[in-house]
């Protein structure tokens, strides 16, 4: 199928439709996604985290900016996401670049987290070596004493918005003749839709 600018369904609308179906069928965390980052010299790493927001601008997740992924994103803004909904036999691949969310966005989401999760953001030196579980528990107890009431957002904790440049929607089909639809963002800001061989 030749490439054409899609006037029917935007990739964001398509994603939201598939996510809505996944929320009804996936037993756990339909918003789980694999996030792939890379070092400046191209060494990749990936991990599963939770999507916390999506709109026409992009896909938002939150983390410790001093974690491995935070350090890699500071040096290399390119990122890839993968959603895999096994119950629906579907996956969505997204590639783009990240920007940091606003302080207001990060503050609002941080305030919505359970108290222990907010204390944990202070207690955990994410991605650094941990001598024992007891050390983490002691740090958590220390933070409970330090912040008996309001818990401010740590300065090193924030969110990232992935600004997509490409999408691929993959649907399992019989005999491995899968359906693959891609969207690419043009310089003019339009999405061009294509089909790929399975």
Catalytic residue positions? 176
Positive or negative, the CA dihedral 16, 17, 21, 24 is positive
- Convert 36-49 to b/e letters by CB count within 10 Å (16 or more is b): bbbeeeeeeeeeeb
And the tokens for 116?
């222990």
SS3 of 14-54: the string is: HHHHHHHHHHHHCCCCCCEEEEEEECCCCCEEEEEEECCEE
């Amino acid at each position: 199928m030749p490439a054409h600018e899609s006037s029917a369904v935007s990739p964001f609308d398509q994603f939201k439709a598939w996510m809505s179906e996944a929320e009804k069928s996936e037993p756990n965390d339909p918003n789980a996604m694999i996030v792939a980052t890379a070092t400046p010299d191209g060494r990749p790493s990936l991990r599963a985290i939770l999507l916390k927001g999506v709109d026409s601008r992009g896909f938002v997740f939150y983390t410790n900016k001093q974690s491995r992924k935070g350090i890699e994103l500071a040096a290399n803004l390119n990122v890839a996401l993968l959603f895999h909904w096994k119950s629906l036999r579907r996956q969505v691949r997204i590639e783009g670049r990240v920007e940091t969310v606003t302080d207001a966005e990060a503050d609002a989401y941080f305030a919505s987290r359970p108290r222990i999760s907010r204390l944990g953001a202070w207690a955990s030196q994410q991605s650094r070596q941990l001598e024992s579980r007891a050390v983490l528990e002691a740090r958590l107890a220390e933070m409970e004493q330090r912040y008996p009431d309001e818990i401010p957002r740590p300065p090193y904790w924030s969110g990232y918005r992935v600004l997509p440049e490409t999408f691929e929607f993959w649907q399992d089909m019989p005999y491995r003749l899968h359906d693959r639809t891609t969207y690419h963002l043009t310089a003019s800001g339009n999405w061009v839709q294509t089909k790929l061989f399975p």
